[in-house]
Chains A and B, each alone.
Chain A
């Protein structure tokens, strides 16, 4: 069952076209990935990258196109067919089964599973197999309890365990910390160099592409716009292939914070249990004034998620007081509307959308029950919702097949844009943001950061929780570090040093 002794296969997709109804997501794209190479697939959000690889894997049936494996025509109508050629994929969203343990996930995804599973033997085989892996993983706890990095490693381990020799990784690092990302990609790179594996990786991050990939292909609006060797192209050349000659948003000049700026968010002595219920989150004292961005740094899992949930009313605090503009704040819809508080949570599809409702409905969540004067509306007008959404879709450049598509059919980056459009429309006095740029292409990242900065300059107080230190350094006026459920360090941006912040994040200071 182990991938040892097998060698990498080369794959070519020829003339792939995919239409969803009248919408062409992919048009006549050809990609060649020779055996043992590490190939990067680039493109803006919604360019059709996931669609292309899903067609290659038999997850979608392409409208037209042909797959070649080792230069021979291959009929791939299902993921199972793909597997029989040794092709496997790690999807953008995790496809491990959360309630099963790692071992159960591995064994059940095998081609041939005996009717009765002899766990003693399987466990022994798994242990032997894991010895060939450069890292350890807990295989006996339910997958839902693993950290994101561990899940991602398990996804890759699973593919190798299944004996795959061509691997598609769809944005494998978007949920990982930089350290984890480097580790995982390094392992995969090592396997391509040993000719055990061929890799096709979708990524938005130029540093990891230059560090790990041999060749690249660029898609734009479903068409092939460039390809070549990574070594022969610089970042600018690849970026130009991705976005054409569109301008990239630039950050507005940072307006100085007025010395007498009014406090907008005040958090005092707030305490709540964390996810596991074993530890607690304690925010002793945090004040954010109008017109400043306060960044919260920290390694994921140190209570940032819970803190966001407290502020968003998803997790009731045991003690303490939260006030917005000096009024007690309980995060009800009425209060957030009256005080102009807006949220951009992480994983917006799960935390800020109703996945199966349409794009238009999702974008109108804040306003659908108000009439044009802002009073409660008696009747809800589908027409008004559509017009409102159409305007936002155009202004925030959300790519969607139609306003009536379910929002879950949008590409990851476009869900993010849709939520951003909804939350940043109208007057914003307090904006609470968590990891707003996960999984976004570089021009979208630039644009979203520019919009957050613009909201700040217009007087909004912004709380920015992020795992991306560069993002915090670029946007914040002050940076706080969260570790073990508490804010342990604060520095104004002028004196912020990556070194000191990193030490506090790691918990030794």
Chain B
């Protein structure tokens, strides 16, 4: 089909498409980090886990021919990294932020080391569902071609939001994250809970990486991540540790990121590159608007080392 000229309508459409396409890794990483931070730990190593997950997913997909096995494999490696972080952090006087930074470098380095042979071969892509069948405008169809992982991510956001209130595991994570003393008085072991929460967080982040290498942009190379792992950690704070907030923040961030390219495509030739900074400016603006010096960050888990 020939592209139809839809004029300025292209901009909101591109933003919508961008929101869906770009947001998926943010959704996964920020949901994972929400679980970890709700348990009272910060894992800054998610960026490294994301890159390693991208590599692992791609490699497994190349070798087995199945992108889904790639995603599963990536989740497994992410969980191992998470366990590693959680295990080190349980020793006294170990700082979770420092370990996270080390893990970030370690994960990326390891991914580049093992990933060298997989830069050339091409892996099968994750499938997408076309939700734009009702329209015959190709731009609409392109924007509404939705990857399955995005839908899973959206479902997970709702499931997590529900689970934090309605399941034993969810409540236990919140207890441990808010007060170690209360947790111990209940006979819970905070270290164990945090270990598991960090492992799950790692698995989520690695799935975010798998999306990068297996769908969008859809190849493995050393520049695959443009800091999504780190930005997602900031999104968690922005979203006030609320899974639904994470989902919304990821969409907003993805949509704002598509603004620059969209303006360029409709013929704006000057200054459009300023709009590439839109996601960051937007995040900053909302952060400033919603915080106040008079009260502490609402919703922050009490045991987090940054809010303590």
Binding site for B on A (CB under 8 A): 59, 78-80, 83, 89, 91, 93, 95-100, 104, 107-109, 113-117, 119, 273, 277, 315-316
The CA of A96 and the CA of B183, in the complex, are separated in Å by 9
Interface of A is mostly: loop
The listed residue (A99, A107, A115) touching B302 by CB distance below 8 A is: A99
User: B169 contacts which chain A residues (CB < 8 A)?
Assistant: 115
Q: Give B157 Cβ to nearest chain A Cβ, in Å.
A: 18
| Inter-subunit contact A273/B294 (CB<8 Å) | yes
| Inter-subunit contact B294/A315 (CB<8 Å) | yes
| Inter-subunit contact B186/A79 (CB<8 Å) | yes
Could you list some 17 contacts between A and B, CB below 8 A?
A: A59-B184, A59-B185, A79-B186, A79-B187, A80-B187, A89-B185, A97-B175, A98-B178, A98-B302, A99-B174, A99-B299, A99-B302, A104-B165, A108-B171, A114-B168, A115-B169, A315-B294
Q: Give B243 Cβ to nearest chain A Cβ, in Å.
A: 15
> Is B179 part of the contact surface with A, judged by Cβ < 8 Å?
yes
By CB atoms of chain B within 10 A, which of A83, A89, A104, A108 has the most? A108
Q: Give A72 Cβ to nearest chain B Cβ, in Å.
A: 22
Interface of B is mostly: helix
Known: A79-B185, A97-B174. 13 other contacts (CB 8 A): A59-B185, A91-B181, A95-B182, A98-B179, A98-B302, A99-B174, A99-B178, A108-B168, A108-B171, A116-B167, A116-B168, A117-B171, A273-B294
| Inter-subunit contact A117/B167 (CB<8 Å) | yes
Q: Give B305 Cβ to nearest chain A Cβ, in Å.
A: 12
> Is B166 part of the contact surface with A, judged by Cβ < 8 Å?
yes
Residue of A nearest to B181 (CB): A95
The CA of A91 and the CA of B295, in the complex, are separated in Å by 27
| Inter-subunit contact A91/B185 (CB<8 Å) | yes
User: B179 contacts which chain A residues (CB < 8 A)?
Assistant: 95, 97-98
The listed residue (B166, B181, B293, B301) touching A93 by CB distance below 8 A is: B181
Residue of A nearest to B175 (CB): A97
The CA of A315 and the CA of B186, in the complex, are separated in Å by 35
Q: Give A100 Cβ to nearest chain B Cβ, in Å.
A: 6
User: A119 contacts which chain B residues (CB < 8 A)?
Assistant: 165-166
Q: Give B269 Cβ to nearest chain A Cβ, in Å.
A: 47
| Inter-subunit contact A104/B294 (CB<8 Å) | no
> Is B154 part of the contact surface with A, judged by Cβ < 8 Å?
no
Residue of A nearest to B169 (CB): A115
User: B294 contacts which chain A residues (CB < 8 A)?
Assistant: 273, 277, 315
The CA of A83 and the CA of B186, in the complex, are separated in Å by 9
> Is B137 part of the contact surface with A, judged by Cβ < 8 Å?
no
Residue of B nearest to A90 (CB): B185
User: B295 contacts which chain A residues (CB < 8 A)?
Assistant: 277
> Is B146 part of the contact surface with A, judged by Cβ < 8 Å?
no
User: B178 contacts which chain A residues (CB < 8 A)?
Assistant: 97-100
Residue of A nearest to B301 (CB): A99
By CB atoms of chain A within 10 A, which of B166, B187, B294 has the most? B187
| Inter-subunit contact A115/B168 (CB<8 Å) | yes
| Inter-subunit contact B182/A97 (CB<8 Å) | yes
User: B167 contacts which chain A residues (CB < 8 A)?
Assistant: 115-117
The listed residue (B181, B187, B302) touching A83 by CB distance below 8 A is: B187
The CA of A393 and the CA of B171, in the complex, are separated in Å by 43
Q: Give B190 Cβ to nearest chain A Cβ, in Å.
A: 12
User: A79 contacts which chain B residues (CB < 8 A)?
Assistant: 184-187
> Is B172 part of the contact surface with A, judged by Cβ < 8 Å?
yes
Report if A113-B168 is in contact (Cβ < 8 Å); known contacts: A99-B299, A108-B175.
yes
Residue of A nearest to B171 (CB): A108
Q: Give A90 Cβ to nearest chain B Cβ, in Å.
A: 10
The CA of A95 and the CA of B167, in the complex, are separated in Å by 21
User: B185 contacts which chain A residues (CB < 8 A)?
Assistant: 59, 79, 89, 91, 95
Residue of B nearest to A89 (CB): B185
